[in-house]
Amino acid sequence: MSEFLLETRNLELAYGPFRAVGGVDLKVRPGTIHTVIGPNGAGKTSLFHCLTGERQATAGSILFNGRDIVRKPSHGRVALGMARSFQLTSLFQNLSVRENLRLAAQGRDGLGALNFWRSVEHKRSHWDTADQVLERLKLTGRADTLAGELSHGQQRVLEVGMSICARPSLLMLDEPTSGMGIDDIPLMTELISDLGRDHTVLLIEHNMSIVMSISQRITVMSHGQILVEGTPEFVRNDERVRTAYLGEAA
Amino acid sequence: MSEKNPLPVGPRTPVLLLLVVASLVLLPLVLPSATLATEILIFALAALACNLLLGYTGLLSFGQGIFFGVGAYGAALLMIHLKWGLFAALLGAAVFGALLALLVGALAIRRKGIYFVMLTLAFSQMAYFLAYTLSGWTGGDNGLLDVPRPNIEVFGHVLVDLADPRHFYAFVALLFLLIFAFALRVIRSPFGSTLLAIRENETRAAAIGYDTRHFKILVFMLSGAITGIAGALYAMLLHFAPLSNIDLMMSENILIMTIIGGTGSLFGSLLGAGAIVVLGDVLSELWPRWLMLLGLILILVVVFMRGGLWGGLAELGKRLRPGRTLSTKTKETL
C-alpha cells in the first residue's frame, strides 16, 4: 500500500496545441475528502475525465493503489474500486430508483453480469446493497418511483448515491451540487461529508464556499496546472488563489 | 437511439406464458390455414429477436434480414447437400445466424446511433448482392428450390410426419414457446437487466462497470441465432428459399412488426407479426397496393400508440381493471 490512494504524475491532456491539463501531479491520501477547485476553464473537468477514463491522457501516468491505470477503460476502473458521478445528471430515467442502485451494485461483478439463466431476484446481495443505499440517501419511500420522476434535488442525490453501490475505495464526484437550488445544497454537502467517513472522496467543485467546510485538502487549479495545494485554511489565505479565483468571484 | 418511452409493464412470467400457450392453441383454430398460422409464428420469432435489440438494448438494426436469409440458405444447403436432419439443420441455422451477427455486430457496434444504423444497412446491402451473385449456391434470383422439410426421426423411424401442415405448425409452436420462455428468462436475468441499462443510458452503464460492447455483441449474436432459426423454418415451410429472404425489405418488415407489436414487449412481437401477416394476407387479395395501408398503420401506431399493439392492450386492460395500483406494477417490467 502506497502513501497515496490516487496519484497522477505529470498528467497531460492536450487537444492539439492546447493543453487542457498541463502536467499535473495530484496526490490523494486515503480517507480524506480532497477537493479540486478552480475558476471556469482551469482544467478541472479535463483532469476528471482523465481520472475516470472518459478521456485518454496524452502523457503522464495515473497510479491507483500504486498501479498504473492510465490505459484502463472507464468500465475497467470500477472493479479496481473507483466510482464516479456525473456533473450532468446521468441516470436510468425509465427504471425505478431501486433498480438504478441495484444495477450499480451489479456493475462491480464483472463477468457475473453476463449471467443470463438466472433471475435478477436470485442475487440478494445486490438488492440488499440497493436497499442500504436507499436508506442512506433517505430515498426509501421513493424506491419504486422511476428515477426520471424524482425532483431535481433527489436526482442529484441518486446520482451521487449510485457511485457508492459498487463499494469503491475512491469516490470521484464531478460538481455534485451543479444545478441544485440554494436550499438543496446543504443536503448535498451533508451527504458528501457522510460518505467521506467510509470512502476517500475526490471532489471537483466550482463553488469554493461550499467545499471549505467539508474538505480536508484542497487543490486549486488554474490554466491546466496546480496553483496551490493545502488545507482549506491555507488555501483561503493564499494570495495567488485570491487573485486567480476569489478575485474573479468578488 | 430509439425514442425512449417508459417500459411497458408486463404480467408475471406464468401469466405471460399462459397467454402465449393460449395464443398458440387459438391461432390455427381462428385462421383459415395452418400454414398461415405457421408463418405468423416464424415472423414472430424474427420480431422477438429484433425486439431484443430494439426494445431491450436500444439498437436499431437493419441487418435482421441477413440473419434470416443466412438461416434459410444455411439450413437448406445443409439439408440438401449434407442430408442433415431437422434439428441439426435448425442448429446449423442458429450457428450461422450467430456467427454472421458476430461479424456484423463486432464492426457495427464500434459506432453509435445513426452510424450504427448505417453500418447495418450497408451490411444488409452487401449480403443481398452476395446472395444474388453466388447463384450457384443460392439460386440467385430464382431462389433455392426443393428445400426439404425433414420429419422428426429417431434411428430412421419416423416419429412425427411434418409434411402435414398441422404437424409442422405444432412443431413450430412448441419451438416458439421454448424460445419465448428462454428469451423471457434472458430479459429478467442480470444480463437482460444490463441490456436495459445500456438502452437507457450507455455512458452511465459503462461508468458503473459494464463493458457495454461485450453486452451488445452478445445480444446481437443471440438475436442472430433466433433470426437464423426463423429463416430456416421459413425455408422449410415454403420448401423454397427466395432471394427476398435476405432483401433489405425483409429487415424492414421485421422491424415494422416489432414496432407495431410494441418494442420492449416480447408478447407484442407475436401480436405485431400476427397483425402484419394477417393484414398482408387479407388486404393483398382485396387491393394490390395494400402496402400503402401498412404505411398508414405504421404511422398511426408510431404517433398514437407508442407502446404498439401490446401497449394499447395494456392500456385497455388498465382501464377495465382500475383497482390495480401502480406500486405492484412497477416491480416487474416485461
Question: Mind listing the pLDDT tens digit for each residue in B108-147?
Answer: 999 998 999 999 999 999 999 999 999 999 998 999 999 9
B204/A90 CB distance under 8 A: yes
Mean pLDDT of chain B: 90
A182 and A226 inside one domain: yes
The pLDDT of residue B325: 45
Residue B103 domain boundaries: 13-323
User: Could you tell me if residue A67 is inside a domain?
Assistant: yes
Assigned C-alpha cell, A87: 456533473
In-domain check, residue B296: yes
Using a CB–CB cutoff of 8 Å, tell me whether B325 touches chain A: no
Q: For residue A1, what pLDDT band results from cuts at 50, 70 and 90? A: low
Instruction: Evaluate whether B235 touches B75 at the Cβ level (below 8 Å).
Output: yes
Does residue A173 sit in the same domain as residue A188?
yes
Q: What is the mean pLDDT of residues B178-185?
A: 97
Verify that A111 and A218 share a domain, yes or no.
no
Q: Is residue B59 part of a domain?
A: yes
Contacting residues of B for A96, CB less than 8 Å apart: 330-331
Burial B105-116 (b: 16+ CB within 10 A, else e): beebbeeeeeeb
Q: List residues bridging with A170 in a β-sheet.
A: A82, A200
CB B92 within 8 A of CB B75: yes
Q: Which amino acid is at B72?
A: A
B185-199 burial, b if ≥16 CB within 10 A, otherwise e?
Answer: bbbbbbbbbbbbbbb
Residues of B in contact with A103 (CB under 8 A): 193-194, 197, 205, 208
- Per residue in B245-288, pLDDT tens? 999 999 999 999 999 999 999 999 999 999 999 988 888 888 87
User: Is B201 part of a structural domain of the chain?
Assistant: yes
The Cβ of residue B307 has, within 10 Å, a number of other Cβ atoms equal to 22
Q: Residue B327's pLDDT is what?
A: 40
Do residues A182 and A200 share a domain?
Answer: yes
Q: Is residue A92 part of a domain?
A: no
Kindly state whether residue B329 falls inside one of the protein's structural domains: no
The pLDDT confidence band at residue B163, using thresholds 50, 70 and 90, is very high
Which stretch of DSSP H or E encloses residue A219? strand A217-222
Shared-domain flag, residues A117 and A48: no
Q: Confidence band (pLDDT; 50, 70, 90) for A206?
A: confident
Domain range for A244 is 1-85+169-250
Which helix (H) or strand (E) segment holds residue B116: the answer is helix B113-133
Say if residue A222 is in the same domain as residue A102: no
What percent of chain B clears pLDDT 90, i.e. is strictly above it?
75
Residues 6+ apart with CB under 8 A from A225: A22, A23, A24, A43
- For residues A139 and A249, membership in a common domain is answered with no
Chain A neighbours among B 199-228 (CB < 8 Å)?
200-201, 203-212, 214-215, 218
More confident residue, B2 or B33: B33
B80 shares contact with chain A (CB less than 8 Å): no
> Length of chain B in residues, anyone?
334
Share of chain A above pLDDT 70, in %: 97
Write out pLDDT tens, residues B63-109: 999 999 999 999 999 999 999 999 999 999 999 999 999 999 999 99
Residue among B4, B207, B327 whose CB faces A144 most closely = B327
**Which of left, alpha, beta for B209 (phi over 0: left; psi -120 to 50: alpha)?**
left
A115: chain B residues, CB-CB within 8 Å = 189-191
| 8 A C-beta contact, residue B332 and residue B12 | yes
CA torsion sign, A137 to A139 to A140 to A144?
Answer: negative
B151 part of contact set with chain A, CB < 8 Å: no
The domain tally of chain A equals: 2
- Name the residue facing B190 among A90, A108, A120 (closest C-beta): A120
Nearest CA in chain A to B4: A94
Count how many domains chain B has.
Answer: 1
Reported as a pLDDT band with limits 50, 70 and 90, residue B322 is: low
**CATH label of the domain that carries residue B160:** 1.10.3470
Q: Are residues A126 and A149 in the same domain?
A: yes
What pTM was estimated for this model as a whole?
A: 0.91
